[in-house]
């Protein structure tokens, strides 16, 4: 099988329908609540209408939380409060419904799908459907070695594309995207720093479980060393993901690109999904038009990536737990925007009120 050519996505991805968006804006101007009174909900409703190519917009009925999972070798440098190889326990919590994101997803009636791309555990430890796309056991230590071979990076990208096709074909109408990883925020920061041309200290955050100053310095040093390995391959996004990404990040990048091809809108969660989105933007500049940024997690790398893509977070709640939690919190806003755009009545045209009143009076006149 020949290697995937990411350049093909440039031609495959179209922008959401601008004509439909104008029609949605026109319809919004006729509704009973004045335009602008609903704030950003107006913009969300119009964005969703363009993504669906539908006016009035269809309400969001079949969202799904997709979590790409993997362990990262760089975690062995103690750059996180979580132990290296500890993502398996987080996945178990998600599958058993006890993680914060799983609890919220259950309350919002959103099904959860976990995709194991590189967990550092025996595949038999998890359900077969979770691990059927796995590329390898753990990604390499990116400060001194590649995260993946070129073949593994290609397989991970293809896996992400396949998952996007599966979701689109099954009728999912909105994706809530997150990750489950240990060391993932370090790899994400390297990608963002490389693509934005910044130093390690600018993008090094405290992670989902806030780290102390000493751990932050170790994380910053690991990002600095990985950046040296990233810069020579900046021109090739697949090589970049192989060098300093990981199987879960490569799969998420392929997933985002194919969702844009399939016209499937996505809500991005935290710094990991933002990093993958930034890589995908480098591949296909129109792709970010299909994504929403859910929230500001407080990670400096996420803020840098979203600014580069001109995506403004919907929420400012400081949620740092990851695993799609922030994106789930934004879902009710998107659903509210769709419901209002679809169901709020329009103002009657001049003269229609008089006609309606006259029509209502006719039966009374006949009875008299």
Percent of the chain predicted with pLDDT > 70 = 94
Question: Going from the N-terminus, what domains does the chain have, and what CATH number goes with each?
Answer: 63-341 (3.40.50.10210)
Of the listed ranges 172-181, 201-210, 297-306, the one predicted with least confidence: 201-210
Q: Would you state the pLDDT for residue 305?
A: 97
Is the model's pLDDT at 60 over the cut of 70? yes
Residues annotated catalytic, as ranges: 323
Burial of residue 150 (number of CB atoms within 10 Å: 0-12, 13-18, 19+):
middle
- Please give the residue that has the higher pLDDT: either 297 or 251: 251
Distance CA 268, CA 203 (A): 18
b vs e for 311-350, b when ≥16 Cβ sit within 10 Å of the residue's Cβ?
bebbbebebbbbbbbbbbbbbebbbbbbebbbebeeeeee
Lowest mean pLDDT of 6-10, 43-47, 129-133, 317-321, name the range.
Answer: 317-321
The answer for 28, left when phi > 0, alpha when psi is -120 to 50, beta otherwise, is alpha
Answering whether pTM is above 0.85, one says yes
Higher pLDDT residue, 211 or 306? 306
pLDDT for 355: 54
Residue 148 near residue 135, CB atoms below 8 Å: yes
> Which tens digits make up the pLDDT trace of 345-356?
888 876 655 555
| pLDDT band at residue 234 using 50, 70 and 90 as cut-offs | very high
Contact assessment for residue 160 and residue 241, using Cβ atoms and an 8 Å cutoff: no
Asked whether the beta carbons of 139 and 71 are under 8 A apart, the reply is: yes
- 224 confidence band (pLDDT: 50, 70, 90): very high
């Amino acid at each position: 099988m020949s290697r995937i050519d990411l350049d093909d996505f440039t031609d495959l991805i179209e922008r959401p329908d601008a004509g439909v968006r104008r029609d949605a804006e026109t319809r919004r101007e006729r509704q009973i609540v004045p335009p602008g009174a609903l704030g950003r909900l107006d913009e969300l409703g119009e964005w969703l209408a363009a993504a669906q190519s539908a006016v009035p917009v269809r309400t969001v009925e079949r969202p799904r939380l997709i979590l790409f999972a993997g362990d990262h070798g760089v975690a062995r440098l103690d750059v996180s409060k979580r132990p290296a190889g500890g993502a398996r326990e987080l996945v178990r919590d998600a599958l058993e419904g006890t993680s914060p994101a799983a609890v919220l997803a259950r309350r919002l009636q959103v099904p959860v799908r976990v995709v194991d791309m590189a967990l550092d555990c025996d595949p038999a430890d998890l359900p077969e459907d979770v691990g059927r796309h796995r590329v390898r056991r753990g990604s390499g230590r990116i400060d001194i070695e590649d995260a993946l071979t070129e073949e593994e990076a290609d397989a991970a990208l293809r896996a992400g594309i396949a998952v996007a096709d599966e979701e689109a074909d099954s009728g999912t109408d909105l994706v809530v995207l997150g990750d489950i990883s240990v060391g993932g925020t370090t790899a994400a920061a390297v990608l963002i720093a490389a693509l934005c041309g910044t130093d390690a200290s600018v993008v090094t955050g405290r992670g989902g479980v806030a780290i102390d100053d000493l751990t932050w310095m170790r994380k910053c040093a690991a990002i600095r060393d990985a950046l040296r390995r990233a810069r020579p391959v900046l021109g090739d996004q697949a090589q970049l993901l192989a060098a300093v990404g990981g199987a879960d990040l490569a799969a998420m990048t392929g997933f985002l690109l194919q969702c844009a091809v399939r016209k499937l809108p996505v809500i991005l969660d935290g710094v990991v999904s933002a990093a993958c989105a930034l890589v995908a933007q480098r591949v296909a500049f129109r792709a970010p038009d299909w994504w929403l940024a859910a929230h500001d997690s407080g990670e400096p790398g996420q803020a840098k990536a979203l600014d580069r893509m001109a995506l403004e977070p919907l929420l400012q709640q400081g949620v740092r737990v990851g695993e799609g939690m922030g994106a789930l919190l934004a879902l009710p806003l998107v659903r509210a925007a769709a419901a209002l755009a679809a169901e709020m009545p329009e103002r009657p045209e001049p003269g229609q009120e008089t006609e309606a009143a006259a029509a209502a009076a006719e039966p009374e006149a006949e009875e008299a």
